[in-house]
Amino acid sequence: MDGTLVDTEPYWIEVEHALVEEHGGTWSHEHALNLVGNDLLVSAAYIREHGGVDLEPTEIVERLLDGVIERIRERVPWRPGAVELLAHLRAADVPCALVTMSYARFVAPVLAVLPEGSFAAVVTGDAVSVGKPHPEPYLTAADLLGVDPRDCLAIEDSNTGAQSAEAAGCTVLVVPNHVTVAPGERRVFLDTLAGVGLPAIADLLGRVPEASAPAPGSTR
């Protein structure tokens, strides 16, 4: 979701800076980019260590969520083409899942402004035992949709997310945003989702050779 469907990374970075400064620490853009795509508790532990925030990781997560939710309620910063692509897929009865490491209470205000049925399943960071880059989030999403991960196209903007989707067996459409994403065995790249519809999605899935499915819980 963050950086792919909505460009909320600037919100997260702004809130991180404010929290660290409140606790007398220092933060940098480089530190912030290191957190893109991470499980929130992993990010919170990083902020505690590198930003000098003397709070438990769970409390750091809640403080971050409070700040970003406040901003998202004022304005949802959609990524170019994302809402339009969702509409095309919904009209074609293609089931979609939202797979995000953000927590359910942050996802709710974003979903609230999308047409009902945009996502047939939603997997959030507080609903899995292991977050990205582990394959569990994408394996869970495919299971909820009742499909084989090898038949799925994951759309991602970070290395962490791309690793998770690849490890689950998905083809990954990478649309880089704030961080550089490395090439990969099952990755294809576009600069934007603007103008992307169902024919382009089918074409992208056809570009990647068949691969054997990984064992559940494996990484690669």
Q: In which residue ranges of the chain is pLDDT below 50? A: 211-220
Distance CA 159, CA 135 (A): 13
Cis preceding-peptide flag for 133 (omega within 30 of 0): yes
Q: C-alpha distances in angstroms, 144 versus 149, 207, 209?
A: 11, 26, 25
Is the pTM higher than 0.85? The answer reads: no
CATH architecture classification, 82-207: 3-Layer(aba) Sandwich (3.40)
Do residues 78 and 5 make contact, with C-beta atoms less than 8 angstroms apart? yes
What is the per-residue pLDDT for 139?
98
- Write the single-letter amino acid at 66: D
Q: Is residue 186 within 8 Å of residue 138, measured between CB atoms? A: no
According to CATH, the topology of domain 9-74 is DNA polymerase; domain 1 (1.10.150)
Paired with 173 in beta bridges are 155, 188
| Tens digit of each residue's pLDDT (9 = 90 or more) over 34-44 | 998 788 899 99
Domains in the chain: boundaries: 9-74, 82-207
pLDDT digits (tens, 9 = 90+) for 145-194: 999 999 999 999 999 999 999 999 999 999 998 888 999 988 999 999 99
